[in-house]
Amino acid sequence: MQFNDSQAIYLQIAGFIEDKILRKEWPVEGRIPSVRDLAVSLEVNPNTVMRTYDYLQQQEVIYNQRGIGYFVSSEGLDLVLKMRREQFLKKDLPEFFRNITLMGFPMDEIVNLYQQYCKNTK
């Protein structure tokens, strides 16, 4: 995983985990990697992964079964989807609209590009 300087590493790892949940690679009620295993695979300090897991537990996306490990909560997928949608609508979409307006893109061109994207990702 490549980290950038624009956001704390533990939040970038949380985004990585959220992506796994959204793609259903880590299913609801499924066990996720241990702190140590994820730290090794991402080449980060285990304390950073622990901070990420604490953050996601506070968001109720994951939970810990003492002595067994961490799991995606029954509402984890829905919570991640809700958080991502809110972020998109508040931050990303206004920025997108600003950019297409500044560059003079007609909406029909954007719609056509979106339809091509959808067709190519199936």
Question: Over the stretch 2-44, which tens digit does the pLDDT of each residue have?
Answer: 899 999 999 999 999 999 999 999 999 999 999 999 999 999 9
| pTM beyond 0.85 | no
Per 3-state DSSP, what percentage of the chain is helix, strand, and coil (rounded to 5)? 65, 5, 30
| Residue 71 parent element (H or E) | strand 69-72
pLDDT of 122 higher than 80? no
- 9-76 maps to which CATH number? 1.10.10.10
Domain ranges in the chain are 9-76
What's the chain's average pLDDT?
A: 95
The pLDDT value recorded for residue 51 is 98
Please enumerate in sequence order all residues whose Cβ is within 8 A of that of 45, keeping only pairs 6 or more positions apart, or say none. Answer: 39
